[in-house]
Chain A
Amino acid sequence: MRPVRIFAIMRKELLQLKRDRISLAMIVGIPIMQILLFGYAINMDVRNLRAAVADQANTHSSRQFVASLAQTQILVIEKAVATPQQLQDLLRAGQISVGVHLPFDFDRRVLDKHRAAAHLLVDGSDPTILGVANQLVNVPLGAMPAAQGLSNVRNIEVRPFYNPERRTAVNVVPGLVGVILTLTMMMFTAVAIVRERERGNLELLINTPISTAQLMIGKVLPYIAIGLIQLALAIAVGRTLFQVPVHGSMLELYVAASVFIAANLSLGLFVSTVAKTQFQAMQVTFFVLLPSILLSGFVFPFDGMPDIARWLGEALPITHFIRITRGIMLKGASISELSHEILALLAFTTIAMSAAVLRFSRRLD
Chain B
Amino acid sequence: MAFQFRSRCRAAVIHGESRNAMNNEFAISARGLSKSFGDLTAVRGLDLDLPRAQIYGFLGPNGSGKTTAIRMLCGLLKPTSGGAQVLGLSVPGSSDALKPRIGYMTQKFSLYGDLTVLENMQFIADIYALRRQQRKSRIDFLLDDYNLSEKASQLAGTMSGGQKQRLALACAVLHQPELLLLDEPTSAVDPRNRRDFWSKLFELADAGTAILVSTHYMDEAERCHRLAILDHGVKVADGTPAQLQASTGMTVLEIHAQSPREAQIALLANTAIASVTQLGIRLRVLVSDSHKDAAALVASTLHEHGIQSEITKADASLEDVFVASTLQSAEER
With beta carbons under 8 angstroms apart, the residue of A204, A209, A365 that contacts B78 is A365
Please measure, in the bound complex, the distance between the C-alpha atom of A203 and the C-alpha atom of B111, giving whole angstroms. 10
Contact A209–B110 (Cβ < 8 Å):
no
Indicate whether B112 reaches chain A with its CB closer than 8 angstroms.
yes
Given contacts A200-B106, A204-B106, A208-B128, whether A363 and B76 have CB atoms under 8 Å apart is yes
Indicate whether A199 reaches chain B with its CB closer than 8 angstroms.
yes
Indicate whether B10 reaches chain A with its CB closer than 8 angstroms.
no
Contact A209–B76 (Cβ < 8 Å):
no
Q: Which of B96-104, B255-263, B303-311 contacts A (4 or more CB under 8 A)?
A: B96-104
- How many whole Å from A198's CB to the nearest CB in chain B? 11
- Which of B96, B112, B127 has the largest number of chain A CB atoms within 10 A? B127
- How many whole Å from B277's CB to the nearest CB in chain A? 35
> Which of chain A's residues have a CB closer than 8 A to the CB of B104?
204, 207
* Nearest neighbor of B109 in chain A, beta-carbon distance: A200
Indicate whether B108 reaches chain A with its CB closer than 8 angstroms.
yes
Chain A interface main SS type:
loop
Indicate whether B45 reaches chain A with its CB closer than 8 angstroms.
no
With beta carbons under 8 angstroms apart, the residue of A204, A207, A209, A364 that contacts B111 is A204
Please measure, in the bound complex, the distance between the C-alpha atom of A363 and the C-alpha atom of B91, giving whole angstroms. 13
In residues 348-365 of chain A, which contact B (Cβ within 8 Å)?
363-365
> Which of chain B's residues have a CB closer than 8 A to the CB of A207?
74-76, 99, 102, 104
Please measure, in the bound complex, the distance between the C-alpha atom of A208 and the C-alpha atom of B37, giving whole angstroms. 25
Contact A204–B110 (Cβ < 8 Å):
yes
In residues 127-147 of chain B, which contact A (Cβ within 8 Å)?
127-129
Contact A201–B112 (Cβ < 8 Å):
yes
Given contacts A209-B96, A363-B77, whether A201 and B128 have CB atoms under 8 Å apart is no
Contact B127–A209 (Cβ < 8 Å):
yes
- Which of A206, A207, A210, A365 has the largest number of chain B CB atoms within 10 A? A207
With beta carbons under 8 angstroms apart, the residue of A199, A200, A203, A210 that contacts B76 is A203
Please measure, in the bound complex, the distance between the C-alpha atom of A196 and the C-alpha atom of B184, giving whole angstroms. 21
Please measure, in the bound complex, the distance between the C-alpha atom of A363 and the C-alpha atom of B124, giving whole angstroms. 19
With beta carbons under 8 angstroms apart, the residue of B76, B109, B129 that contacts A206 is B76
Indicate whether B113 reaches chain A with its CB closer than 8 angstroms.
yes
In residues 80-135 of chain B, which contact A (Cβ within 8 Å)?
92, 96, 99-100, 102, 104, 106, 108-113, 124, 127-129
Chain B interface main SS type:
loop
Indicate whether B19 reaches chain A with its CB closer than 8 angstroms.
no
How many residues belonging to A are interface residues under a CB distance threshold of 8 Å?
15
> Which of chain A's residues have a CB closer than 8 A to the CB of B109?
200
- Which of B77, B92, B106 has the largest number of chain A CB atoms within 10 A? B106
Please measure, in the bound complex, the distance between the C-alpha atom of A200 and the C-alpha atom of B188, giving whole angstroms. 16
Given contacts A200-B106, A200-B110, A204-B111, whether A210 and B127 have CB atoms under 8 Å apart is yes
Indicate whether B71 reaches chain A with its CB closer than 8 angstroms.
yes
- How many whole Å from A208's CB to the nearest CB in chain B? 5
Please measure, in the bound complex, the distance between the C-alpha atom of A206 and the C-alpha atom of B71, giving whole angstroms. 11
With beta carbons under 8 angstroms apart, the residue of A200, A201, A208, A364 that contacts B71 is A364
Please measure, in the bound complex, the distance between the C-alpha atom of A365 and the C-alpha atom of B92, giving whole angstroms. 12
> Which of chain B's residues have a CB closer than 8 A to the CB of A364?
71, 76-77
Please measure, in the bound complex, the distance between the C-alpha atom of A252 and the C-alpha atom of B127, giving whole angstroms. 35
Contact B128–A209 (Cβ < 8 Å):
yes
Please measure, in the bound complex, the distance between the C-alpha atom of A207 and the C-alpha atom of B106, giving whole angstroms. 10
> Which of chain B's residues have a CB closer than 8 A to the CB of A203?
76, 106, 108, 110
Please measure, in the bound complex, the distance between the C-alpha atom of A365 and the C-alpha atom of B127, giving whole angstroms. 23
Please measure, in the bound complex, the distance between the C-alpha atom of A201 and the C-alpha atom of B77, giving whole angstroms. 17
Chain A 206-231 interface mask (CB, 8 Å, partner B; 1/0): 11111000000000000000000000
* Nearest neighbor of A202 in chain B, beta-carbon distance: B110
Please measure, in the bound complex, the distance between the C-alpha atom of A363 and the C-alpha atom of B78, giving whole angstroms. 8
Interface residues of B, Cβ cutoff 8 Å to A: 37, 71, 74-78, 92, 96, 99-100, 102, 104, 106, 108-113, 124, 127-129
Known: A200-B109, A201-B112, A363-B78. 5 other contacts (CB 8 A): A200-B108, A204-B104, A207-B74, A208-B124, A363-B76
A-B contacts, 9 listed (Cβ < 8 Å): A200-B110, A203-B76, A203-B108, A204-B106, A207-B76, A208-B124, A208-B128, A363-B77, A363-B78
